Amino acid sequence: MSPSPAERADVLRRQIEDAGKAYHERDELLIPDADYDALVRELEALEQAHPELARADSPTRRVGGKASSRFAEVRHVVPMLSLGNAFSDEEVQDFVRRIGERLRRDALYFSAEPKLDGLAISLRYEDGQFVQGATRGDGATGEDVTANLRQIRVIPHRLQGEGWPDVLEVRGEVYMARADFEAYNADARLHDGKVLANPRNAAAGSLRQLDPKVSARRKLSFFAYGTGEVRGGELPATHSATLAQLRAWGFPVSDLCQVVEGSEGLLAYYRDIGERRDGLAFDIDGVVYKLDDRAGQEQMGFVSRAPRWAIAHKFPAQEQTTTVEAIEIQIGRTGAATPVARLDPVAVAGVIVSNATLHNADQIARLDVRVGDTVIVRRAGDVIPEVVSVIAERRPAGTAPWQMPTHCPVCGAEIVREEGAAAWRCSGELSCPAQRKEAIAHFASRRAMDIDGLGGKYIDTLVDAGIVRGVADLYRLQRDQLLQLKLVLDAGSPEALASQIGAHLPPEASGDYLRAILQLDGRDETWRAQALAMPAAFVWNTKKIATRWADNLIAAIDASRDTTLERLLFALGIEHVGESTAKALAAWFGDLALIRRLPWPLFKRVPDIGGEVARSLGHFFEQDGNQKAIDALITIGKVRITDTHRPSAKLRDGLDFAQVLVEAEIPGITRLRAEKLVAALPDAATLLDAEPVRFVAAGLPNDVALGLADWLDRDGHGHMLLKAEACRQELLALAPDQAEQIAGPLEGQTVVLTGTLAQMTRDDAKARLEALGAKVSGSVSRKTAFVVAGTEAGSKLTKAQELGVEVWDEDRLLAYLAAH
């Protein structure tokens, strides 16, 4: 049976998308360009022949396409800066105060302008002629979009008037007016084209079109708001006069630009624009204030990549109303049951929101969100959608308060709440497929074992099929198994796959699909020739993509076998043990064999590990299943820890038996009492043998002595104490670790990274800072030594400024790293 056009179209779309994604996200070529083009052409032909199959999200309509979508790079001689943000009146007043103090001036004049929601660009004029236009890019380097900018009617090709500098760069915002955006989408809907999400995306997408004719059809506009490089000429001494001059030279400048005085003037302007916002012809997301006189600007200078003389005052996150269609719960890696609201999709602050976390049952109870409710949603911090409140008047009749289900929707185990905790958990542990999948995904994740290419979709299938039950099974996977898996997944189902293949194989070759495909693997020349003779490149491409994936995944799994103790400890997914704790454990103990059998009180020897984390570690390693899983990883999986070393000598400081007793958290046992106890009963064996009277004789109050006796009898505590004592002696007997690291120049300093770095990845920067002894943390506080801010730095930069923490830009970091 030959595949229906619909099935065929589905397969094509999936292949095109896989290849396109690999190319865009990883710069990886899954299939040659010619093959890719063939796939796209076939899909186009199919969609034309069967218009009912054409879909708005089809890759044939994708903006930009695939290969060659690279624009030339343009280096900005004067960097295109980002702006600091203000969200409250106070922050604006602080901004004005800082300037007043530094410039020692009472009256400050600002140029205030609307902040358009578009795309920042730079236009270069030489001898009055438009020669080049570029996007902002990372601020230092952008993309050359000259051809597309020439299509924008309001951008002058030649400067008007006179007196312009020999070289003039004009900075401004390309945007799409609301009316033009609506018209575009109406047209797109009519012709079944791709509907764009918002004017901003429309502008950005249009500008990055490769074909200028395409972007010409979309009506873009432009407002100038500043200048970049200027050579062979002078600009007026104030920003406002410069804008007027730009207008005279032929540039559109918003007529909402105004000069105002002091913070009062700024705030009045903000309110005025806020009121007029909805009536404007274009979207704005705030207003921008710039110190008007250039001399003052120069005196103020820059922090990181942002000028100190300008700030963006943002409007509050946009809110929208929508309805709650369902409240589902998701089971996380630790079993945490998180309620998520499925919403009727709605556009909030530029994106379509269809899910919003409700965080936990308390939050639902507080808001009293019910299925069917109309709610207000907001994008908190402009990213993660949240439900703000319920509109009570619009609640349908007959609803009941939402309740946490009593059983896990995935495995059916009971959902329980720990005492005093906020979170409900599925009690199924690793017998719950949801938890097992998440645990495996965590194990494979980049910061853990780093098995690239093993996404959630494949883990789902592997676990559902029973091929992978635990993490060690990953190391048993065979290439052909994976190949089959991928082929079936790509086709949607084994049946779909078989029917598709049947059509393209010669009659004598049809039959078992998988066998057919597998035999194409270069081993059988006859098959190979037949495949090449097939009418469509389909089988080849399917095969090539799948083979590539399987080979890559096998290679990634193989590469993950050599790992560090830190990564493996993190990968195990022990509760409360994240990257940082795993790193500390690895550094202090150095040896998995030791860690696996360590009684929990001894984990507290490591700074930043307290009772909770230590118990969690102990609990994990007590479980037989976990020990077996680790054994399997090592023996069957051939996982090797490459950095095993001796425990740190520092572990021995203050480590006597009395301390072990204290750290075991026995009720009533203080350091003083423990010492008395040890003086009378010097080791664990003696202690265990002793009658409670001996404890009293050693100076313990009656109730504490009885409590201790009771404690020793319960829950294997006695045995644990014996083990702890044995381990303690072992640690003491170990030769001191010679390889104590030399103190780096940043030893003991905490550094925070924020924003996007252009020259290196954040992981890279982190590793290099750590190599110098720094601790790289995620949150800014007074103790932070300095904050490294890349482009688009967010709240952490703001916080650093508030706390007066030093801010480095990327160049400074690079210079520092180079010097050390």
Shortest Cβ 354–DNA spacing (Å): 4
Our finding on whether 334 is near DNA (CB under 7 A) is yes
- Nearest to DNA of 519, 777 (CB atom): 777
Q: Which amino acid is at 511?
A: G
- Nearest to DNA of 104, 446 (CB atom): 446
Piece in contact with DNA (CB under 7 A), picked from 212-220, 280-288, 290-298, 611-619: 611-619
Chosen residue from 193, 274, 502, 794 binding DNA by CB under 7 A: 794
Per-residue buried b or exposed e for 546-565, using 16+ beta carbons within 10 Å of the residue's own CB: bbbbbebbbebbeebeebeb
Our finding on whether 255 is near DNA (CB under 7 A) is no
Our finding on whether 778 is near DNA (CB under 7 A) is yes
Piece in contact with DNA (CB under 7 A), picked from 184-192, 407-415, 703-711, 776-784: 776-784
Chosen residue from 750, 758, 814, 817 binding DNA by CB under 7 A: 750
Our finding on whether 121 is near DNA (CB under 7 A) is no
Our finding on whether 804 is near DNA (CB under 7 A) is no
What are the tokens at 299?
């005196």
Residues in region 360-379 near DNA by CB under 7 A? 360, 362-363
What are the tokens at 231?
């050579």
Our finding on whether 320 is near DNA (CB under 7 A) is no
Beta bridge partners, 172, equal 121, 224
- Nearest to DNA of 491, 572 (CB atom): 572
CA distance 606 to 612: 13
Query: C-alpha 272: how far from its chain's center?
Result: 37
CA distance 198 to 756: 24
CA distance 355 to 348: 12
Our finding on whether 796 is near DNA (CB under 7 A) is yes
- Nearest to DNA of 65, 794 (CB atom): 794
Shortest Cβ 253–DNA spacing (Å): 29
- Nearest to DNA of 417, 717 (CB atom): 417
- Nearest to DNA of 215, 754 (CB atom): 754
Our finding on whether 737 is near DNA (CB under 7 A) is no
Shortest Cβ 172–DNA spacing (Å): 23
Shortest Cβ 327–DNA spacing (Å): 11
Our finding on whether 319 is near DNA (CB under 7 A) is no
CA distance 537 to 504: 9
Residue 115 is among the residues annotated as catalytic for this protein = yes
Shortest Cβ 198–DNA spacing (Å): 9
- The helix (run of H) or strand (run of E) holding residue 528 is helix 525-532
Shortest Cβ 803–DNA spacing (Å): 8
Our finding on whether 767 is near DNA (CB under 7 A) is no
Shortest Cβ 37–DNA spacing (Å): 24
Contact string 380-419 vs DNA (x = CB under 7 A): xx-xxx----------------------------------
Chosen residue from 401, 507, 607, 804 binding DNA by CB under 7 A: 607
CA distance 12 to 43: 6
Contact (Cβ atoms closer than 8 angstroms) between residue 439 and residue 426: no
Contact string 546-585 vs DNA (x = CB under 7 A): -----------------------------xxxxxxxx---
Rounded alpha-carbon distances, angstroms, from residue 15 to 2, 45, 479, 515: 19, 16, 20, 21
Shortest Cβ 761–DNA spacing (Å): 15
Our finding on whether 773 is near DNA (CB under 7 A) is no
Please provide residue 752's backbone torsions phi and psi, each rounded to the nearest 5 degrees: -125, 135
Q: Smallest Cα–Cα separation from 675: which of 658, 698, 697, 655?
A: 658
Contact string 147-186 vs DNA (x = CB under 7 A): ----------------------------------------
Q: Which of 115, 219, 290, 437 is catalytic?
A: 115
Burial of 55 (0-12, 13-18, 19+ CB in 10 A): middle
Shortest Cβ 363–DNA spacing (Å): 7
- Nearest to DNA of 353, 598 (CB atom): 353
- The helix (run of H) or strand (run of E) holding residue 79 is none
Contact (Cβ atoms closer than 8 angstroms) between residue 461 and residue 485: yes
Q: Decide: helix, strand or coil at residue 73.
A: strand
Q: Smallest Cα–Cα separation from 333: which of 458, 471, 476?
A: 471
Contact (Cβ atoms closer than 8 angstroms) between residue 210 and residue 314: no
Block residue for tokens 């160049």: 811
Query: C-alpha 236: how far from its chain's center?
Result: 44
Three-state secondary structure string covering 81-127: CCCEEECCHHHHHHHHHHHHHHHCCCCCEEEEEEEECCEEEEEEEEC
Shortest Cβ 340–DNA spacing (Å): 4
Chosen residue from 340, 536, 709, 727 binding DNA by CB under 7 A: 340
Contact (Cβ atoms closer than 8 angstroms) between residue 633 and residue 563: no
What are the tokens at 668?
């009533």
Our finding on whether 356 is near DNA (CB under 7 A) is yes
Residues at the site binding DNA, with contacts judged by CB under 7 A: 197, 201, 330, 332-336, 338, 340, 351-357, 359-360, 362-363, 380-381, 383-385, 421-423, 575-582, 604, 607-614, 750, 754, 775, 777-779, 781-784, 794-796
- Catalytic residue ranges: 115
